[in-house]
Structure 1
């Protein structure tokens, strides 16, 4: 019965807002279809290799700018050297609407949130299978403190949202389901966060994603060129 009731927005702390069910069914299907196209090139979906030799369990494809640990570039020099696909304006506009949807929360403040225009110029598309996880980390390779917009499609995950000082407690665990929006900026912009588990088989195949979880994060790099 609880699944039939709308889930209200939740403040995860100053600057972090979770809006359950923000994406409608058609929006999710459109994003899944687009992600399949992006995953096939010009730079394909891949496991990112970490500087110390480890390999991330999630698979990633980037738009606008190519991300690898600690830097962005226009070309995927660690994959095939090709320039990444452009970030489409319709996706940037979705990010702007996401920020506007959370701006009503008085603690959710920061550069590009309650003042000025939010103009994301990159997106990281991460695909999680049932075994994939994401360790606690900060999104700090950008030169802008504008908010990060996170969209979830497919299987539900357990998302851990921590503090800005380190990977340990305090943190809050929250389940992100298909269609959920999470925005964090202002005092929470550099909070550590990660994914500790994906609950297989919890997604709706009607989205076009038979299994696994897609997560799209939109960001402002603050870079030029």
Structure 2
């Protein structure tokens, strides 16, 4: 195994079970990786450009997406699914950078999921006013692994609900470098993002980004 890019200095200081069993909010956990992530995003987008996918119902997503890793999440008229190949380029998705893998695994371990091995990373890029409606991550075959969500750039309001769409949601302010993890009994809880406000971040400009690490199979 390659040596870690950064020493682990977290000292277990993060909030676990903040939103119920199986959840964690790791404030600023990704900050030490920000420069590596910024450079990696440029390389990934060069190979697999951001695009606004279409839902099975024919609606254009307001969020621009791309992927890296062995499997990429896609949506079109045929449905939601994972695929090894980028449908826009016909090539395999870009490999997941070592910094991404380390961040995802350390975040999951800090949240109580030490055996997490991410197969794919869905990268969302938001425009001002864009949002992500309440949904479950349920296109994966393996629900024993957690979801690791990394927020970058401008602040956002993350919505976290229950196992039913109608359940009450909690509004969670997330800022650059925050990581949310949910798994175990929380794995299928509904979540989303409120419409994004305008602004400029010194590293990531006017586009908030989110990295969502998943094990799909």
**TM-score, length-scaled by structure 2:** 0.85
Please tell me whether the aligned partners of residues 92 and 121 of structure 1 are also in contact (alpha carbons under 8 angstroms).
Answer: no
Give the unaligned 5+ runs of structure 1: 1-6, 104-112
Q: Secondary structure of the equivalent of 2:188? A: coil
Query: Where does residue 211 of structure 1 map in the other structure?
Result: 206
Q: Secondary structure of the equivalent of 1:71? A: strand
Q: Secondary structure of the equivalent of 1:99? A: helix
Runs of 4+ in 1 over 6 A off after TM superposition: none
Q: Map 1:116-127 to 2 at 5 A.
A: 117-127=115-125
Q: Map 1:80-159 to 2 at 5 A.
A: 80-103=89-112, 113=113, 117-145=115-143, 146-159=145-158
Query: 1:87: how far off?
Result: 1.6
Whole-Å separation in 2 of the counterparts to 1:33 and 1:88:
10
The answer on 1:15 being equivalent to 2:25 is no
Query: Where does residue 7 of structure 2 map in the other structure?
Result: none
Query: Where does residue 74 of structure 1 map in the other structure?
Result: 84
Please tell me whether the aligned partners of residues 129 and 197 of structure 2 are also in contact (alpha carbons under 8 angstroms).
Answer: no
Whole-Å separation in 2 of the counterparts to 1:89 and 1:21:
19
Q: CA RMSD in A?
A: 1.7
Whole-Å separation in 1 of the counterparts to 2:172 and 2:83:
32
Query: 1:50: how far off?
Result: 0.7
Whole-Å separation in 2 of the counterparts to 1:13 and 1:125:
26
**TM-score, length-scaled by structure 1:** 0.82
Match of 1:50 among 27, 32, 55: 55
The answer on 1:36 being equivalent to 2:42 is yes
Please tell me whether the aligned partners of residues 30 and 103 of structure 2 are also in contact (alpha carbons under 8 angstroms).
Answer: no
Please tell me whether the aligned partners of residues 120 and 218 of structure 1 are also in contact (alpha carbons under 8 angstroms).
Answer: yes
The answer on 1:199 being equivalent to 2:197 is yes
Query: 1:8: how far off?
Result: 6.0
Whole-Å separation in 2 of the counterparts to 1:74 and 1:160:
30
Q: Matched residue pairs, number?
A: 198
Q: Map 1:166-181 to 2 at 5 A.
A: 167-181=165-179
Please tell me whether the aligned partners of residues 120 and 219 of structure 1 are also in contact (alpha carbons under 8 angstroms).
Answer: yes
Whole-Å separation in 2 of the counterparts to 1:56 and 1:131:
12
Query: 1:76: how far off?
Result: 1.9
